[in-house]
Chain A
Amino acid sequence: MKGFNIFLYEWKHFIRSPFKVVALLLFVLAGVYGLHNGASLYNEQMANLEKIKERSEQDRQQYISYYEEGKKGPDNRPWIDMTTPFWSIWYSNTYHFKTPSPAMVYSIGQAEQYGFYKRVTFRASPYDPDMTNEIANPERLQTGTLDFAFALVFLLPLLLLILLYNIKGMETEQGFMPLIEVQTASKSNWLLSRVTFYGALVFGVIMLLLAYGAMLTGVFALASQAFGQMVLLALFYLLFWLVIYSVILVKGKSILGNTLTMVGVWLLFAFIIPATVHQWVSIEKPTNLMTDFIDATRDERIELYEQSDSVIMAQLKAMFPEIKNSPVAQDSIKKKVAMSESTTALFNELMKKSIAKVEEEHQERNTLVASTFWFNPVSFFQNRFNYVAQTHFANYQEYRAQIQQLIDQQIKVLVQDVWNGVEVDKDRYLEYGDKIANID
């Protein structure tokens, strides 16, 4: 009952403090604004994907019409022969998308740093220039978008600071503490109840905001698990700050001292520690200028193509033993063309080796970052929110891996069909659509 009374008095105190009410309203405003920013990016990406699918389908219909009209390809490109697996697969118009999760409404994360659609060909790579970010103002990217996660990670501690800063300090300064001790018996319980009140109030507001965000992009219907994870993460984050601020309030003696300490702790966790870690990681693991990757795409590629036919053939046979007894392998003229069209498989292996090095370095960098999470909680939570919203580095790494898998599949089909001397007709072309556009 005492606890309930404290809650009731605290509610009265809260609604009579315009500064606190305005702070809460500003937080709600920032949260709603952030949710709309997230929803806007989600809708924008979905609309973009729809446009690409539409255009891709138009092109595909055009290619199908070549088969129906008995043409080998476009009139102004006489060297194209779509009855061969090489050109038919090239024009299979396979796209792979990183379809945004509806949970993007909560955290834009690193979504604006990477491409989310890619035309996959047997000559492609997950590190092609078209895998870079959408066209955006770099100064805006640097400033960062005010998304819901930003409000939660950076503004929530400030809101709590404003709501809690004068608890106990004001009573101490005005000389009410002895009276409170007499009335409540336990000073700690009294303080804890007051902090709990604000914790519950803020958690309620966060729940409402999360639910509002869910309605903007259909999270409940399409990614309900993400909602639950966001609620839990937000709760843990809230508790983290409540514990820190409670300790400051218990130990502190004045409003000013408490406020300064709280601001200091916020600055330390939100600015100083992440910025120092960021700087340290950049010195330890400087940006990869991708020279290994460049070497693979140019000099090593040239060396590969300059190898003798027998060496190339031996490498191809090692990769695809089935081509040894294939019909084309027995025909010396066709064999030459087939070899030339299949060398892309060897190039793909070369690229994969150089990519493995790049990704190993990325992994080392990320491990370094993760090793700081025990004293860098803000970055930890920020990344967890991104992960739930599928806008984390790892989500885009997974997308790259899927692209590589599709490239491998495409190459496998290409080599098999080239060496089996397949003549592509409309049905085979349509089959390609299923065989190489979906991950096995």
Chain B
Amino acid sequence: MWQIIKNEWQFLGRSRMLLGISFAFLLILVLAVFLGSQQKQKQSEAYQTAQKHLRQQWENIDAMNPHSAAHYGTYVFKPTSLLSSLDEGVNSITGNVLRVEGHVQNEIVHSEASQMQAISKFGKLKSSLLLQYIVPLLLIFLAFHSVSSEKQSGRLKLLVLQGAKPFQLVLAKTLSVWVYGIALLAVVVLVYGLMNLQYLNGEVLGRTAFFFLSYALYYFVVSGLTVFFSARWQNATVALTSMLGIWILWTVFLPNMLMSSVEKWHPLPSRNEFQAAMKEDRSKGIDGHNPSDERGKALEKATLAKYGVDSISQLEINFDGLRMQADEEYGNQVWDKHFGNLREVLGKQKQTYQIGGLLNPFISLQNASMGFTGSDNLHHQAFLVQVEHYRRGFIKTLNDEHAFGGSKTGDWGWKANNDFFKSVPDYQYQPAALATVLPNYIYDLGLLFFWAIGISFFLFFGAKKMSIA
């Protein structure tokens, strides 16, 4: 079998056209990795400048009432992950700026896609675009006449007479084409590694390894299926057009149709409905800005009892701060309920879409690619949750300062000093660890393995029925 693979490679190596295409394509791949890294670097610089600017403004607050500071708030910018230069995933669609303030959990806004007219329906020139759409096409072009040409030239009969088993033959043909895909993939990963040598760590290497594995499995599926068609049909053109049809169906039709259907099966609320429901639930809680609010009065009563005094003027602390925090905590329950529901629906949509991998391995590949590069919606949601946790801690610190920092109830003119504002920690992004997110993509990987095994069976039984003449 190794001899067949070797012969196949020697044959491919003699084709000047293939060498030319391969060289040009390698250049495009390297260019894609380079441009991806350039963009990532520029984005990171812009992100750091903006974050530093905002932090400076916060640390420069000379003196301010803590609740005014909660309204002043701060902003978190969505950081780019190192691997997003390979696959940008949803990053250009989701917003980049998230306002962190009191009383409300905001939504992320100002996406890249909203800042210009439409350009590319399939995204930027990232490695993922080439690896997902173009490399499989190259594999199809390499494999579609690999067996049929042997049949037409009569070499197949000769090979069988010399002792080669049909299965060995089709497997060798598959592997020789597959190795070509693997070589292109390896170039991408190597160039990417070399360009980001200083950032490489176990986490990045682990994610890159799974990224590599997902593509390797998909390329085996594409190569194997094309060789299978080439073996089954006498006419190479039929094999090519069939595979082109499958490629269109897998990469263009099915992902679009399934994703649209999934959103209909698990519908998300409209923004208007979502906001109205939250407003309704929010109105049932304490109104931090309204001293005559009944629930606020109940809290006042409980606080007076706790401190053993008769009126809030006798309190050593500032009751306004406590009321604001109680208001926040009620609000947090409301946000958890409504944003939690959204995440649940999005989770169901993701799971249903992943099942689509049974029909279309491209779906599994896309999910795995975005997932392992940390640029899918699950990672985006994890970032939003992280920022919300930060917001809660941030606002609680301000409310605690308001309540226990030395002011008395109703003293809205009281101001915390600069030392306090400097002591409030800045937001630090914690990238999701591979070990924690891996279970989300086991299904995608499993389906890719399932497809690879299935294709091997196809090749095995297909080879048995292959006409040698």
Q: Which of B35, B245, B253, B268 contacts A137 (CB 8 A)?
A: B268
Task: Collect the chain B residues with CB atoms within 8 Å of residue A275's CB.
Answer: 120, 122-126, 129
Give CA–CA (A231, B77) in the complex, Å: 44
Binds B, one of A154-162, A318-326, A427-435: A154-162
Whole-angstrom distance between the Cβ of A195 and the nearest chain B Cβ:
19
Q: Interface size class for chain B?
A: 35 or more
Q: Which residues of B94-153 have CB atoms within 8 Å of chain A's CB atoms?
A: 94-97, 99, 106-107, 109-126, 129, 133-134, 137, 141
Q: A379 near B116 (CB under 8 angstroms)?
A: no
A95, chain B: closest CB distance, angstroms: 11
Which of these binds chain B: A243-251, A259-267, A337-345? A259-267
Residues of chain A lying within 8 A (CB to CB) of residue B112: 282, 287
* A271 engages B93 (CB within 8 Å): no
Stretch at the interface among A85-93, A177-185, A214-222, A288-296: A288-296
Within 8 A of B (CB), among A136-152: 136-146, 150
In this complex, which of B42, B120, B269, B370 has the most chain A Cβ atoms within 10 angstroms of its Cβ? Answer: B120
- Does A274 count as interface, using CB distance less than 8 angstroms? yes
- B272 is an interface residue with CB less than 8 A from chain A: yes
B307-357 residues with Cβ-Cβ distance < 8 A to A are: 342, 346, 349-350, 353
Q: Is the CB of A146 within 8 A of B115?
A: no
* CB-based contact A154/B272 at 8 Å: no
Whether A369 contacts B260 in the complex (CB less than 8 A), given A129-B109, A137-B346, A139-B90, comes out as no
For chains A and B in complex, what number of residue pairs have CB atoms within 8 angstroms? 232
Q: Which residues of A contact B123 (CB under 8 A)?
A: 142, 275, 278
Query: What does the 1/0 interface line of B63-105 toward A look like (CB < 8 Å)?
Result: 0000000001101010000000000011011111101000000
**Are A138 and B110 within 8 A (Cβ)?**
no
Hey, what's the 0/1 contact readout for A27-48 against B, CB within 8 Å counting as 1?
0001001000100000010001
Binds B, one of A7-15, A112-120, A415-423: A112-120
A98 at the interface (CB under 8 A from B): no
Main secondary structure of the interface of B (DSSP, over half): helix
Task: Please determine whether B118 and A146 come into contact, CB atoms closer than 8 angstroms.
Answer: no
Q: Would A139 and B376 be within 8 Å (CB), given that A76-B290, A146-B257, A154-B252 are in contact?
A: yes
A289 touches B116 (CB 8 A): no
- Alpha-carbon gap, A23 to B248, bound state (A): 11
A277 touches B (CB below 8 Å): yes
Asked whether A135 and B274 contact (CB < 8 A) given A271-B129, A283-B39, A394-B117, the answer is yes
Q: Is the CB of B272 within 8 A of A278?
A: no
Evaluate contact between A138 and B94: CB separation under 8 angstroms: yes
Q: What chain A residues lie within 8 Å of B137 (beta carbons)?
A: 263, 267
Please report the C-alpha to C-alpha distance between residue A165 and residue B240 in the assembled complex, in whole angstroms.
12
**Contact residue among B43, B124, B245 (Cβ-Cβ distance under 8 Å from A279):** B124
B268 partner residues in chain A, CB cutoff 8 A: 135-137
Residues of chain B lying within 8 A (CB to CB) of residue A153 = 121
Query: If A154-B252, A287-B43 touch, does A274 touch B119 (CB 8 Å cutoff)?
Result: yes
| Assembled-state Cα–Cα distance A271/B89 (Å) | 16
- Judge whether A256 and B94 touch: CB under 8 Å: no
Contact residues of A: prevailing secondary structure: helix
1/0 per residue, CB under 8 A from B, across A98-135: the answer is: 00000000000110011101000000000101101111
What residues of B have a CB within 8 angstroms of the CB of A52 in the complex?
A: 272
A393: chain B residues at CB < 8 Å are 116-118
| Residue from B89, B94, B257, B274 having most chain A Cβ neighbours under 10 A | B257
Q: Which residue of B lies closest to A267 (CB)?
A: B134
> How many Å from the CB of B133 to the closest CB on chain A?
6
The residue among A23, A140, A271 with the most chain B CB atoms within 10 A of its own CB is: A140
CA of A165 to CA of B248, assembled, Å: 16
Say yes or no: B272 contacts A294, CB within 8 Å.
no
A-side interface size class? 35 or more
B293 touches A76 (CB 8 A): yes
Instruction: Give min CB distance, B247 to chain A, whole Å.
Output: 10
Residues of A within 8 A of B109 (CB): 129, 132
Provide the residues of chain A in CB contact with B14, threshold 8 Å.
Answer: none
User: Is A362 close to B, CB under 8 A?
Assistant: yes
- A71 within 8 Å of B (CB atoms): no
Are B253 and A277 in contact, CB atoms less than 8 angstroms apart?
no
Chain A residues within an 8 Å CB radius of B97: 289-290, 294
B71 to chain A minimum Cβ distance, whole angstroms, is 10
Q: Does B400 contact A (CB under 8 A)?
A: no
B304 interface contact, C-beta 8 A: no
Q: Tell me, yes or no, whether A16 is within 8 Å of chain B by CB.
A: no
Q: Which of A280, A290, A376 contacts B110 (CB 8 A)?
A: A290
Cα distance A90–B109 when bound, in Å? 25
Residue in contact with A113 in the complex, picked from B99, B114, B126, CB distance below 8 Å? B114
Residues in A with CB closer than 8 Å to B349 are: 137, 139-140
Q: Which residues of B contact A37 (CB under 8 A)?
A: 260
Name the A residues within 8 Å of B16 (CB-CB).
none
Asked whether any CB of chain B lies closer than 8 Å to the CB of A175, the reply is no
A78 touches B99 (CB 8 A): no
Asked whether A2 is an interface residue with its Cβ less than 8 Å from the other chain, the reply is: no
Which of B46-54, B214-222, B406-414, B450-458 has 4 or more CB atoms under 8 Å from chain A? B46-54
**Are A135 and B90 closer than 8 Å at their CB atoms?**
no
Query: Distance in Å from the Cβ of B338 to the closest Cβ of chain A?
Result: 11
Interface residues in B252-285 (C-beta closer than 8 Å to A): 252-253, 255-257, 259-260, 262-263, 268-274, 276
The answer to whether A176 has its CB under 8 Å from any CB of chain B is no
Q: Known: A48-B272, A299-B57, A393-B118. Is A138-B377 also a contact (CB below 8 A)? A: yes
B377: contacting residue among A137, A285, A382, A394, CB under 8 A: A137
Are the CB atoms of A260 and B260 closer together than 8 Å? no
- The B-contacting residues of A in range 289-344, CB under 8 angstroms, are 289-291, 294-295, 298-299, 302
6 A-B pairs within 8 Å (CB atoms) are namely A134-B271, A135-B274, A139-B376, A272-B28, A282-B92, A383-B117
10 closest A-B pairs (Cβ-Cβ)? Answer: A274-B120, A146-B256, A138-B90, A275-B125, A393-B117, A279-B124, A279-B125, A278-B120, A278-B119, A287-B112
